[in-house]
Amino acid sequence: MARSTADAAKPQAAGKCPICGAASEQQYRPFCSRRCADVDLSRWLRGAYAIPLEDDADEDGEGADGAANQPPDRTRRDE
């Protein structure tokens, strides 16, 4: 699809589209087009960008060495 001269006069946003690498457009920033914005939205909705969690190997909360995974005791001691 060819761009008109009016589209060419629009200022370009700094950076490149994270989906295809083309120059980003101000209207769809940080993407270059509606299509790339929709591709990114689809990835978010499918969970492709999810941060993996480290599951505890034991259900009882103990690590591999048998020690309980508990925070240190932070009780206040009177001196």
pTM: 0.49
pLDDT of residue 60: 65
Domain ranges of the chain: 11-46
Q: Collapsing DSSP states into helix, strand and coil, what is residue 55?
A: coil
Which carries the bigger pLDDT value, residue 78 or residue 43? 43
Q: Collapsing DSSP states into helix, strand and coil, what is residue 24?
A: strand
- Sign (positive or negative) of CA dihedral 70, 72, 78, 79: positive
pLDDT of residue 63: 58
| Nearest in space to 34 (alpha carbons), one of 15, 19, 14 | 19
| Nearest in space to 36 (alpha carbons), one of 61, 24, 19 | 19
Q: Which CATH architecture has domain 11-46?
A: 2-Layer Sandwich (3.30)
In this predicted model, what pLDDT tens digit does every residue of 18-66 receive, in sequence order? Answer: 999 999 999 999 999 999 999 999 999 998 988 888 876 666 666 556 6
pLDDT of residue 52: 81
